[in-house]
Amino acid sequence: MAIYIYLPVPGPQMISLSGMVAKTLGGTVLQATSGIARRTGYGCLSRLHPSDTLFIFTHGAGRADTATIAAKQHGWLPTQRQTFNAETEHWEGGVFKAFTTEQLAEDLRLEGLPLNFMDVRVLACGGGYAGTLSPWVGRFCTKLSRTHVFVEVTGYQGFVHISPGSIRVEDKSGGSNTFHSLEEKALVYRSGFAQLSADRGRSSLVGV
């Protein structure tokens, strides 16, 4: 079983951060391919084995009831570039490219994700938050499972923090900020139901 980190929007910031993600998880980074590669069956996900793990790495809004997840790519103007202010990293410029749940599901199909693939994880802030709507990852699982009937989609309840050698989820609920492992804040959806991995055991939720 191998771990892959997929960048649907391979902009400079996401490429830079994905290197830390790959090193921490022991995975390989895959970038979205061109239309020609997709049309000829050579999408970047076509080589995955059904037992592999796929992390989709992008930005989330960090709150419930959002329609899209997104990341910045180079635009005509301004291009995205890295700057530093008092040794703190900042990224300026670039143009956001966003995906609805349906659009991201179709993106994975076009990249050749095997129909019997099982383990997809969305590494984006707030993807596991529920509000008036079910969590973004739950709605995404509904769309993807129309073709990938064995898929399990995981999201995270909090803000994803990435640093060298560490990936943590920050929980800002209850008026205090606490940090957790990915497993502690994971929300797992399958066709028809969800399971929440919490600090104490596992509890079932009504899902998609």
Q: Which domains does the chain have, with CATH numbers?
A: 3-206 (3.40.50)
How far apart, in whole angstroms, are the C-alpha atoms of residue 173 and residue 150? 33
**Phi, psi angle pair for 109, to nearest 5°:** -65, -45
**pLDDT value of residue 173:** 75
Q: The tokens of 30 are what? A: 């895959």
Residues 99-122: what's their mean pLDDT?
A: 96
**pLDDT value of residue 3:** 98
**pLDDT value of residue 71:** 84
Instruction: Write the pLDDT tens digit of every residue in 122-147.
Output: 999 999 999 999 999 999 999 999 99
Please provide the average confidence, as pLDDT, over all residues in the chain. Answer: 83
Of 186 and 202, more confident: 186
* Cβ count near 179 (within 10 Å): 14
**Phi, psi angle pair for 47, to nearest 5°:** -90, -5
Q: Among positive and negative, which fits the CA dihedral 113, 119, 123, 127? A: positive
Q: The tokens of 176 are what? A: 């205090």
From residue 130, how far is each of 137, 175, 207 by CA, in Å? 10, 18, 11
The three-class DSSP label of residue 7 is: strand
Closest by alpha carbon to 188, among 113, 125, 126, 138? Answer: 138
Query: Which residue shows structure tokens 């997709």?
Result: 38
pLDDT for residue 197 is more than 60: no
